[in-house]
Structure 1
Amino acid sequence: MSTEKIADAVKFAYWVPNVSGGLVTSDIEQRTSWEFEYNKKLAQTAENNGFEYALSQVRYEASYGAEYQHESTSFSLALLLATERLKVIAAVHPGLWQPGVLAKLGATADHLSGGRFAVNVVSGWFKDEFTHLGEPWLEHDERYRRSAEFLQVLRKIWTEDDVDFRGDFYRIHDFTLKPKPLNTPERPNPELFQGGNSTAARQNAGRYSDWYFSNGKDFDGITEQIDDVREVARAHDREVKFGLNGFIIARDSEKEARDVLREIVEKANRPAVEGFRGAVQQAGNSTGDKKGMWADSSFEDLVQYNDGFKTQLIGTPEQVAERIVDYRDRGVDLILGGFLHFQEEIEYFGERVLPLVREIEAARSTDRERVGAA
């Protein structure tokens, strides 16, 4: 078990439902909406219930249950302007964005929000989004090489003047961005998140990003990833924080929570799940070491399309809180939560689960101090 920590307390984020269809590809009722007014209220509810971050999804056209989609950066800015404390992470695709243009947008969003804008660099899994827009589709490792350059260019433009960058994918010549992001001690430059399970993704995270996002994982799976990324980061004199995806089903009884999971899977939209499975598992299996995202995901795992059931945040408030702190003890800094009924379940989480997380964290910290003093 890894006990190294960067933050004292685990932080919480939620998936912004800015695409239709909810967070599970199932015909079960999902009391949620992709429309702005719903999401505006949800963001305000989340920041008042202990959530520090929200992640806006990126899809450019209908796919696998997501018939409608709002663009992530504009939607993120709207949510930032509707809230006071929430940090909103916009997912973006290198290959569909020029990094200097995104750097300009990000600096403006950072000023307008008082330093709360962040970026999640997504290397891409949905081939049609690129080919339908007339853009080349690169193979897995080439996409991550492009993302590595993208992360470097963003950081340079946000922190340096007269930027020159000569890469295989991007060429920047004597470029200076003004104004730059706020970059105060309280609000440093926009945080850079990056996900993926593959060796290439881990290398990028360890070398260039502030945060590494993982798909849903059990204890052994996340520990292996954290240890690997930390080793890369230390080799480059860096530290990286870790976010973990988990679909949260907290109910008054464990039976009720397990029944909800069972119903979600039983009512899965099989053609949509199988279509998604075919699209993503070829990406995961295209890596040489088979460590790509979704490479080992079962049908049930993919009903929640980021393997959120694997994290097993399912049960009573006490059970979910205990498991969250167990992940914290293994080095997870942030839980990225998905929910079936977002508005009411985020309220339930803030009232019933999060206070227990803080109690357990405090008790374990006291125990560690007592053992250390003995």
Structure 2
Amino acid sequence: MSVRDRAGLAEPAQPQDFPDSPLSRVLRQPLLLGVFLPLQTGGWSQSTLPRGTDWTFDYNRALTQQAEKFGFDIAFGLSQWLPKGGFGGETHYRENFLDPFVSAIALASATESILLLGTVHVLYGPWHPLHLAKFLATADHISGGRFGANIVTGYADTEPAMFGQLKPEHDKRYAMADEFVAVCKDLWAGEDNLTFHGEHYSLQEAYASPRPKYGRPILVSASGSPAGFAFAGRNSDLVFISSPAGENIDRALEALPAHVEKVKQAARDQGREVRVVINPTVVSAPTSAEAHARYQAIMDHADLGAIGAFTDRHTAGDSQSWLEHSARGRAVGGHLHIVGSPEEVADKLHRLHETGIDGVQLTFYDYQPELDFFGTQIVPLLEEAGLRKSVTNP
């Protein structure tokens, strides 16, 4: 039995229950397209090969507008709490890091149609469900219903330690997050003040306004564990997963059908449906040979110091996301590597869709020129293949 059922908390309508909501519009696309914004130094790749990718807000605003021009559905940023210097290395990987929640709200005034997702660690520091319910409802109104939250619980001991906290064990973190979100939902749905005394959170005569435009804001989560899948099944509209077979696309294509089915079955067990999204890094060029040469050059310039620190941090925590990934593959970044000519990339995205994947959250090495290449050379091929509906005919 869920927290909501045990406590008698109200459940708001979902944004996809409204045919005119931004989420409903996006979900009519056969394959969702998202851009994973490089809000952090080094973006997603730990390589010293020269490029123009930048963590600044102006750069990310231009990227988001560029993605929107090509009909992308989602812009999304990572959240991570790191000590001075980030992961170090020659690139000072993730030394600077814009907050994705604040950045996504700011991007709402610079865009018109793209969904904007902000990541928030709900268990760190003084976060309370009443805070998030109010903040998200406000962002929902600012964006016209395009804003959503990626609810994460963290995995590394060092992050809660920054807030003077100890990391709860894995499944307890999801139980805490479940109660947190259940309270938020009641605040979005409730007609009256809420008094609630749960295992982790308490409220007395609490109320949050304004009410979201489409029932509640968009909710997403990312996980690779059974507890995370169950949380997503109860709460999320979109679920971000990692490759269970590492970054190699051919191995991933074999492993993904069963993995995706676990995620979707967890939602069906709750009487819901979710869309599953994965993060490929795309390296493309006019010819396959050029693309593979570019891919090799990125790896040849691997920032081994940053890669080592990144790998140590992730293997020390209880995250499942990177267990099957090679350290060398971190030079390129992303959960999957899709390399080739535009035709080859479109074909691999089609094969990825056939595994049950509903969307891709794309990363690039040199963002602006590579996003432009993807939009002009690959998006038309996806439209021809029936994977995308034209932005002029959504």
Paired residue for 2:230, among 203, 224, 243? Answer: 203
Does structure 1 residue 237 correspond to structure 2 residue 271?
Answer: yes
Q: Look up the equivalent residue of 2:97 and give its one-letter code.
A: Q
Question: How far 1:93 moved relative to its partner?
Answer: 0.5
Aligned residue pair count:
345
Deviates further, 23-32 or 143-152: 143-152
Does structure 1 residue 89 correspond to structure 2 residue 114?
Answer: no
Question: How far 1:304 moved relative to its partner?
Answer: 4.7
Does structure 1 residue 78 correspond to structure 2 residue 106?
Answer: yes
Matches within 5 A, 1:130-209: 130-161=160-191, 162-183=193-214, 189-209=216-236
- 1:99 equivalent in structure 2: 129
Is the Cα–Cα contact under 8 Å of residues 250 and 316 in structure 1 kept in the other structure? yes
Question: How far 1:334 moved relative to its partner?
Answer: 1.3
Is the Cα–Cα contact under 8 Å of residues 284 and 294 in structure 1 kept in the other structure? no
Q: Look up the equivalent residue of 2:174 and give its one-letter code.
A: Y
Q: Look up the equivalent residue of 2:304 and give its one-letter code.
A: R
CA spacing shift, 1:223–1:153, aligned 2, 3 Å:
farther
- 2:370 equivalent in structure 1: 345
Q: TM-score, normalised by structure 2?
A: 0.82
Does structure 1 residue 40 correspond to structure 2 residue 67?
Answer: no
Root-mean-square deviation (CA, aligned residues, Å) is 2.0
CA spacing shift, 1:49–1:199, aligned 2, 3 Å:
same
Q: Look up the equivalent residue of 2:239 and give its one-letter code.
A: Y
* TM-superposition CA deviations, 1:79-103 (whole Å, max 9, x none): 1111111111001102123222122
* TM-superposition CA deviations, 1:247-269 (whole Å, max 9, x none): 01121111221222222222221
Question: How far 1:45 moved relative to its partner?
Answer: 0.8
Matched position secondary structure for 2:279: strand
CA spacing shift, 1:175–1:298, aligned 2, 3 Å:
same
Matched position secondary structure for 1:147: helix
Q: Provide the rounded CA distance (Å) in 1 between the counterparts of 2:332 and 2:325.
A: 10
- 2:147 equivalent in structure 1: 117
Paired residue for 1:54, among 75, 98, 113? Answer: 75
Question: How far 1:242 moved relative to its partner?
Answer: 0.7
* TM-superposition CA deviations, 1:282-340 (whole Å, max 9, x none): 3347xxxxxx222222212333554233xxx2111111111112222222221100011
- 1:259 equivalent in structure 2: 293
Runs of 4+ in 1 over 6 A off after TM superposition: none
Q: Provide the rounded CA distance (Å) in 1 between the counterparts of 2:64 and 2:316.
A: 35
CA spacing shift, 1:70–1:8, aligned 2, 3 Å:
closer
Q: Provide the rounded CA distance (Å) in 1 between the counterparts of 2:28 and 2:259.
A: 18
Paired residue for 1:212, among 239, 249, 261? Answer: 239
Q: Provide the rounded CA distance (Å) in 2 between the counterparts of 1:67 and 1:234.
A: 41
Q: TM-score, normalised by structure 1?
A: 0.86
Does structure 1 residue 129 correspond to structure 2 residue 159?
Answer: yes
Question: How far 1:152 moved relative to its partner?
Answer: 2.3
Is the Cα–Cα contact under 8 Å of residues 261 and 356 in structure 2 kept in the other structure? no
CA spacing shift, 1:322–1:164, aligned 2, 3 Å:
farther
Does structure 1 residue 16 correspond to structure 2 residue 50?
Answer: no
Question: How far 1:151 moved relative to its partner?
Answer: 2.8
Q: Look up the equivalent residue of 1:17 and give its one-letter code.
A: P
Question: How far 1:136 moved relative to its partner?
Answer: 2.2
Q: Provide the rounded CA distance (Å) in 1 between the counterparts of 2:211 and 2:275.
A: 24
Q: Provide the rounded CA distance (Å) in 2 between the counterparts of 1:179 and 1:201.
A: 30
CA spacing shift, 1:181–1:116, aligned 2, 3 Å:
same
Identity of matched residues, %: 28
Q: Look up the equivalent residue of 1:28 and give its one-letter code.
A: L
Is the Cα–Cα contact under 8 Å of residues 339 and 345 in structure 2 kept in the other structure? yes
Is there any run of 5+ residues in structure 2 with no aligned partner, and where?
1-26, 88-92, 245-251, 389-394
* TM-superposition CA deviations, 1:145-191 (whole Å, max 9, x none): 222223323323222243454443222344221111111xxxx5321
Q: Provide the rounded CA distance (Å) in 2 between the counterparts of 1:221 and 1:212.
A: 17
Q: Look up the equivalent residue of 1:41 and give its one-letter code.
A: A
* TM-superposition CA deviations, 1:115-162 (whole Å, max 9, x none): 111111122133322212212222322222222223323323222243
- 2:261 equivalent in structure 1: 227
Q: Provide the rounded CA distance (Å) in 2 between the counterparts of 1:362 and 1:295.
A: 30
Matches within 5 A, 1:320-335: 320-335=345-360
* TM-superposition CA deviations, 1:181-224 (whole Å, max 9, x none): 111xxxx5321110111111111111221111012451233212
